[in-house]
A and B are shown apart, each in its own frame.
Chain A
């Protein structure tokens, strides 16, 4: 009896709680804002006329195709960057694989504003590279012109989604599969193409679909590059203009959400009916082998070149933070520590807040992500897919919309004992970050779960373990790689989020780093200090990422040791 209660009611209870959370903190606030999309602007009656207007406007159709094109191209370019890094570091005995994996995450931490300024200073029409090219060869390459610039910046920024998820998937592949293939005579590229890559598919699709969705909905990059003819900037520009409340902004938000869900559904279809799980665990991961000398040189060359490109915004940021004046020149006029001195006194609050908010948000995300992944893929609850769709839909909600929605919904709700509106209590920032970053953790957890064979759970349950115990002792440990990957992506991106945060910060003492950077980047004199603050953000998140990698590695070694001991007994 007890067993039954736990198996059927437990998951249902968890599902209801999660559903409630998403309803209160995602659906209701967003609905409060975007219902305008369904209102006739003249009479206030319910209507779909705004959607007809959308499809009748050539500007919006053009924006739609531009967004689609940029998102697809970013997936392509991002894959080209991520695949060699993931493959080399998981396939071969490579010095500093952890370091490369960590550096590979750094691009996700592109602080607002400063990242784009740094990119312009390096790659812009009059940036360092083009000034040098002009001097040497008399040419100018438009890296940053229009959609090219958006694709370049987006793929550099978001390729880590592919890298992290693909690496986690590669590490989870059963070695025996590879051995069987080799015994049958496959090796080299054929082995990769026919065996390794298909087995890592869940990770790749998880990463690629995240990149696609994120780029499709991304607002910051096109705005900072002043590209207006894409959907997300069109929505934002219409929502945030002074005094105008044109419903089209909200119509575009609705369309962004619907299209994101459609894209997600397509990726579900692509993955359906395929079996990726492997039974054997413990000795998992691809066989690692040593490289021959010339191979090593080649591999290092590829890795270093890739890292140079993907870390270029941060190289620019470093120069900016130590530079004096940098204007129409290859390098800053001089170097100084003054920028760091200026921010050092003011940052401790920002840093504590950032760690607290991003840490809590990422923790909530992996817990919820694991739970949702399990409910969706391992139970037969009615409507379970909707949890996934809902949580992922958050990806498509512009931060401003969520921020306004929170103010609108929670400003009149007093927090008991604090006597403050919920909307101005710092916890609401954590909730906003958690909701906005949940899709990242969720994708990573889903990919990890898909690689765990149901047979292992059934075995555990046959041996008398309860559902709860099975999840805790078998499923979660086997998913740990994916869970940590989810934590890292959620944490790193939450640490530099601005668009919802800026609406919700109600006291400077509650403000995170990204807000501090924003404050500095509003004046000419603040550019250097803003960059210095950006560097501090990057370093903190980078160190946190590195440490969490170390923790996983140690966990893995201990597991391996346990397995060996168990085998010995």
Chain B
């Protein structure tokens, strides 16, 4: 054996060893595992797990189900020793929180044929940290047996829910509990303006039967007939219907479509499999799974709607869904926690007072109808204004320093914020409680005159 050939062989072995060590074959193999932290129900995750595992044999998908808030906390607390690959949930704001904590990594989707916008909302995070895979919009669902038994009309618009006939029949979740509920609240605030938007919310809330702690509590309550109507995200309504419950769902004119999202966790142990999962989710095959009656989400690929059942809403064709409001993402982000807090102080925690005031106003208005009594009319108007009043105006709500009180944490030790959330909330609470009490008294006074 010549010296030359031996050198060649040594070099060959070295190259082989090097390629083995660095693990750089031409086609990268997927890892054998994928851990997805998700808030989605089993009906959805089960279908995708089965289909993905079939397409990529050898990858075992672990769906770790946590509700969105618990999922975010879980990823935050486990970041130092991360074992999760993906976060898969509805609320874009949960992804915003993870993104700002540096817990997500960028990914560029290879699949094509997905537009930039669904309704008036951008499908993907502009910075590339998370991707929308399905659309969802808010609307009203109701229990047909319930409204028949109670002789209620079917609603069409948000404002219908404020009618006296629905008093005590409406349910909704709180924006602080559910990111998608937050978007509904914010959409109306942007669509109708700060003061009018809050006034409408409080008129509707005056008819609430309950504010549920989980967003799923709303469809659950409507399905069982605990209350008749609920403000819900479309797939809750559509999938309840598909499961056989006697319920209906409509989109009001002012609504917004928001994407449900997926993102890869920073330092994910199985990044290749995670990328493959996103590609699968965006592919025709993955998007078609969304049309399953138990899942019922709006695909982000417009070409999928030809395969959907006849009554399936198509946001890319029917421009009335989610197009009425141009959603300002920055504005929403800046006052995010502040809006949550205002809603809780004015509605969630003071629901009994609000309901009592609303009932008194309804009664006074009913007594007034057909009669003319200027003074009673004035008292009722005063009562309504008191209920509608918001402790701060829009400018203050967007004031960076003020909104900073509600920020989740100080970014730097040098950041100085004056005022504490609890202090501000206590102040608001006093104003609100006094307003509701006085409104009730005024409405009762008006009624006694008639």
Contact = CB atoms under 8 A, between A and B. Distances in A.
B64 A241 contact: no
A127 B146 CA distance: 12
Interface in A496-545: 502-503, 505-508, 515, 518-527
Contact of A243 (B336, B420, B421): B336
B421 A246 contact: yes
A223 interface: yes
A57 interface: yes
A404 B43 contact: no
Interface in B328-346: 336-337, 340-341, 344
A486 B323 CA distance: 60
Contact of B94 (A146, A240, A242, A248): A242
Contacts of A407: 73-74, 77-78
Given A125-B226, A404-B77, A412-B81, A243 B337 contact: yes
Interface stretch (A47-55, A76-84, A154-162, A476-484): A47-55
Given A126-B146, A327-B246, A56 B426 contact: yes
A525 B340 contact: no
B52 interface: no
B145 A327 contact: yes
Given A226-B210, A524-B219, A423 B408 contact: no
Interface stretch (B129-137, B236-244, B262-270, B301-309): B236-244
A348 interface: no
B64 A505 contact: yes
B417 to A, nearest CB: 5
A439 interface: no
Interface string A47-90: 00110011011110000000000000000000000000000000
B74 A241 contact: no
A152 to B, nearest CB: 15
Given A522-B216, A523-B294, A327 B211 contact: no
A21 interface: no
B429 A59 contact: yes
B423 A506 contact: no
Contacts of A248: 421-422
A229 interface: yes
A44 B340 CA distance: 24
A411 B225 contact: no
Contacts of A240: 69-70, 73
A247 B423 CA distance: 12
Given A54-B422, A226-B213, A503 B70 contact: yes
Contacts of A526: 41-43
- Residue among A40, A223, A248, A525 facing the most chain B CB atoms (10 A cut-off): A525
Contacts of B337: 243-244
A399 B410 CA distance: 26
A458 B143 CA distance: 70
Contacts of A53: 420, 422-423, 426
A525 B239 contact: yes
B74 A328 contact: no
A124 interface: yes
Nearest to A40: B420
Contact of A411 (B43, B67, B81, B177): B81
Contact of A524 (B217, B236, B408, B416): B236
Nearest to A333: B244
Nearest to B176: A241
Interface residues of A, number: 69
Nearest to B341: A244
B329 to A, nearest CB: 15
Interface size range on B against A: 35 or more
Contacts of A424: 78, 83
B177 A237 contact: yes
A524 B245 contact: yes
B422 A503 contact: no
A241 B236 contact: no
A325 B246 contact: yes
Given A41-B420, A223-B213, A421-B81, A57 B42 contact: no
Nearest to A420: B83
B348 interface: yes
A44 B416 CA distance: 10
A442 B40 CA distance: 39
- Residue among B42, B80, B344, B413 facing the most chain A CB atoms (10 A cut-off): B42
Contacts of B340: 241, 244
Interface in B290-318: 294
B279 interface: no
Nearest to A325: B244
Contacts of A41: 417, 420-421
A411 B77 contact: yes
A121 interface: yes
Interface in A381-395: none
A328 B149 CA distance: 9
Nearest to A408: B77
Contact of A57 (B35, B226, B416, B429): B429
Nearest to A125: B226
A505 B64 CA distance: 8
Interface in A322-366: 324-329
11 contacts: A59-B349, A124-B224, A125-B209, A223-B213, A243-B97, A324-B244, A327-B224, A328-B146, A404-B77, A503-B74, A525-B43
Interface of B: 35, 39-44, 62-70, 72-74, 77-78, 80-81, 83, 91, 93-94, 96-97, 143, 145-146, 149, 176-177, 179, 209-213, 216-217, 219-221, 223-227, 236, 239-240, 242-247, 294, 336-337, 340-341, 344, 348-349, 351-352, 406, 408-410, 413, 416-423, 425-426, 429-430, 433
Closest 5 CB pairs of A and B: A328-B225, A523-B41, A407-B77, A53-B422, A524-B240
Given A244-B340, A328-B145, A524-B245, 14 more contacts: A40-B420, A42-B410, A53-B426, A57-B422, A57-B426, A126-B226, A226-B212, A325-B243, A328-B143, A412-B80, A503-B73, A519-B42, A521-B216, A523-B44
